[in-house]
Amino acid sequence: MSTRKYSPPPNFIKDIIDDDLRTGKYEGRVHTRFPPEPNGYLHIGHAKSICLNFGLAEEYNGKCNLRFDDTNPETENEEFVKAIQEDVKWLGFDWEDRMYFASDYFEQLYQYAVELIKKGKAYVDSLSPEEIREYRGTLTEPGKESPYRNRSVEENLELFEAMRRGKFPEGAHVLRAKIDMAHPNLNMRDPVMYRIKHVPHYRTGTQWCIYPTYDFTHCLSDSIERITHSICTLEFEDHRPLYDWFLDELEVYHPRQIEFARLNLTYTVLSKRYLSILVNEGYVKGWDDPRMPTIRGLRRRGYTPEAIRDFCERIGVAKRNSIVDIALLEHCIREDLNKRAPRALVVLNPLKLVILNYPENQVEELEAVNNPEDPAMGTRKVPFSKVLYIERDDFMENPPSKYYRLAPGREVRLRYGYYVTCVDVIKDPGSGEVVEVHCTYDPATRGGWSPDGRKVKGTIHWVSADHAIPVEVRLYDHLFTKADMVNLEEDEDFRKYINPDSLRILYPCYAEPSLANAPVESRYQFERVGYFCVDPDSTPERLVFNRIVGLRDTWAKIQKKFS
RNA sequence: UGGGGUGUCGCCAAGGGGUAAGGCACGGGUCUUUGGAACCCGCAUUCGGAGGUUCGAAUCCUCCCACCCCAGCCA
C-alpha cells in the first residue's frame, strides 16, 4: 500500500516491456541484471541503474541478477566485489541466489569463440596495437583489412589455442570478429574479442592468460542467464549492432539491449576518474567521505535507502542527457526523515543565557515531544535550569523588523520551557561581542503556554548548560561551487570548482543529555536546524554528528531578499 | 564531409492528431510551541527553428539548427 501523493512516471522501457509481454516475447518473463565492474565503488548514478533493474523485476514479477562484469583482471578485485554487494543490499535489493560472474563463463565464452572461428567469423590478428588503430580508419574514412584477416580456420584455431596456452607475449595477437572494416559504425570494424594478458585474475587465478572483451562477453553473459531486457547507458547505443551480431552469428538466445541516460547531479561529479582524484589527492577523506556521492558516502552522511530509492523513482528514466538538481535529493531525505527522525535540542553556536529570577540550583524536567509528526514516538524529559545555551543567531542586539527571536526587551518562548524576556546584555569589553544574555522568566508559562493567552512571536531552542553534552558537528556543503560540472570548457580543470568550504567542523556544540548514547548511524532532527547522523568517528567521550541536510530556512530567504 | 542518439517551464519529466500531467525549485497565503511540517493558490496560449498536411499538430511530412556519444587489446 502506497501513501505517496504522486505515482511513478511511466517510461519508454516499461512501454517496451509491456509490448513484449503483449506479444508473448520471452514467454512473458521479465529478467534483468545489474552488471557492475568490480573496479570501484558504487555511486548515486549506479543507484539509478540498480533501482531501475531491480525495480522493473519487482514490478513485473520477474527477476534481477547481480552479475560482476569482471573481464579485466588488471583493475578488478575482491574488495570491490564485497563492497558492491554490501551497497546493493543496503539499498534494499535482493538478488537471492543469483549472483554471477562473467569470469564463471570464461570456458563457455572460449568455446563460443572457437565456434565463430570455425564459422569463419573470427580470426587471430597479429597486428600490433598501433597498427590495429591505424587500420581501423577514422570517423570519416573506412578502415582497411588486416593482412592476417584471411588466415585459414585451421591456422586460427591453432593460434587461438596457443594464445590460451600462453605461448605468446601480450600484444602479439588478438582474436577479432570478422565483420566489416568499412562499416560506418567503428564498433563493427572487426572488434577485438580476446586479448592476451599475463595477469592473474582475482577469481580464476592463473588459469587464463587471454581475456574476453566487454562486447563479446556482455551479450553472451546476458544470453547464458536468459536475460530478457539488458538495460545499459547511452554510450553503448553504438554497441548494440555488435551485441546483436554475436548473438545472431552464434544463433543463441537473444535478449534485447535498451539504453537510457545516465544520471548527472548538480554541484557534484559522478565519473570514476574525478571521484578517484578527489580521494587520491586528498580533497575528501575517502570513498565514504560524507561529501561523496558514493553510496557509502551518502550512507555515512545519513541518507536513508528509502530516500535514495524515492529519488531514483522521481527522476524518471529517459534517453535525454540531463543534470538533476541536487535539491531534489535533499527534498527526498527531508521528507523521509521528517516522518521518522526523533527531534532533539542541540545548540550549534552557543551563546550563554542566564535567567536572573530562576532559582539558583533548581532543575526541572520538562516534557518534550519526540516527533510531532508521529505521536507514537512518545515524549522525553529535558532538564531545564538557570543557565542555558541558545543559538547565537537567535539573539540580535539591533534586530531588523522581520526578526522575531530574542532581542533586548523582547519576549520569546524557549521551546517546551518558559517565556523569557531579555533584560540585559553582557559584552566582551575588548571585542564588544555579546557573550551573555540576561533574561527574566515568567513562571506561569511553564511548558510554553501563557495562562493569559499572551502570544509570543518566536520560539527558540536551548540546552541547559549544566546538563549539556559537548559534541562535534560537521557541516557539509556541496563539493563544487559550480552547478553544472558536466559541461566544462575544453581543457578546464575541474579542481578549480572544488568548494573550499564543503566541510566546517564545529566544537563544542551543546546537545541535550538524551543524545548521550546515540548509536552510530542514528539520525535526528535538531529542531530548527536540520537533520543529523551519528558518524562512526564518534567516541564515548565525543559524539560526532554529520549534518545530512538543513531544514528549509524561510528566515534565510527573507534575509537574502533584504540584502 | 561518417555513424548512432537527443531536443516539452529554471531543473527533471508525462503526453505520440482533439486543443500542454506531475515532481523539484520559485512566488504568495492559511496554520503552527520547529520562521520545520501540513494545507491552499500561482507558475509553458506553448512544445529547438522554419515551412507543409489537416477542421484541428508538441504529436504526421520536409528542410534546417543545437547538443551528446563513437577512432581502448577499458567497461
Residue A167 and residue A321: Cα distance in Å, rounded?
46
The pTM of the full predicted model, rounded to 2 decimals, is 0.97
SS3 content of chain A, % helix, strand, coil (to 5): 30, 25, 45
Catalytic-residue membership of A272: yes
Neighbours of A552 (CB within 10 A): 11
| pLDDT at A8 > cutoff 80 | no
Contact A333, A525 (CB under 8 A): no
ipTM of the complex: 0.97
A496 CA to B55 C1' distance (Å): 59
The widest CA-to-CA distance across chain A, in whole angstroms, is 102
Average pLDDT over residues A275-288: 98
Active-site pick, A14, A29, A37, A155? A37
Catalytic-residue membership of A335: no
Q: Percentage of chain A surpassing pLDDT 70? A: 99
**Which chain B positions come under 7 Å from a protein C-beta?**
1-8, 10-15, 21-27, 33-39, 67-75
Contact A472, A418 (CB under 8 A): no
Task: Give the pLDDT confidence score for residue A561 in this predicted structure.
Answer: 82
Average pLDDT over residues A501-510: 98
Length of chain A: 563
Task: Give the pLDDT confidence score for residue A4 in this predicted structure.
Answer: 41
Active-site pick, A272, A314, A352, A381? A272
Task: Give the pLDDT confidence score for residue A1 in this predicted structure.
Answer: 31
What pLDDT band is residue A2 in, cutting at 50, 70 and 90?
very low
Amino acid at A192: V
- Model confidence pLDDT, tens digit, residues A181-227: 999 999 999 999 999 999 999 999 999 999 999 999 999 999 999 99
From the centroid of its chain, how far is CA A366? 40
Contact A113, A194 (CB under 8 A): yes
A12 CA to B56 C1' distance (Å): 27
A460 CA to B33 C1' distance (Å): 9
A14 CA to B39 C1' distance (Å): 34
Task: Give the pLDDT confidence score for residue A7 in this predicted structure.
Answer: 59
- Model confidence pLDDT, tens digit, residues A372-424: 999 999 999 999 999 999 999 999 999 998 999 999 999 999 999 999 999 99
Contact A120, A178 (CB under 8 A): yes
Cβ neighbors of A311 (< 8 A, separation 6 or more) are: A44, A328, A329, A332
What pLDDT band is residue A346 in, cutting at 50, 70 and 90?
very high
Active-site pick, A136, A144, A149, A262? A262
Which nucleotide C1' is nearest A527 CA? Answer: B34
Catalytic-residue membership of A118: no
Which nucleotide C1' is nearest A6 CA? Answer: B22
Report the DSSP pairing between strands A364-369 and A459-460. unpaired
Q: Is A32 left (phi over 0), alpha (psi -120 to 50) or beta?
A: beta
Neighbours of A210 (CB within 10 A): 23
A328 CA to B48 C1' distance (Å): 26
* A148-152, A356-360, A556-560: range with lowest mean pLDDT: A556-560
* Average pLDDT of chain A to the nearest whole number: 96
Amino acid at A246: F
Cβ neighbors of A392 (< 8 A, separation 6 or more) are: A349, A350, A351
Task: Give the pLDDT confidence score for residue A5 in this predicted structure.
Answer: 44
Task: Give the pLDDT confidence score for residue A525 in this predicted structure.
Answer: 98
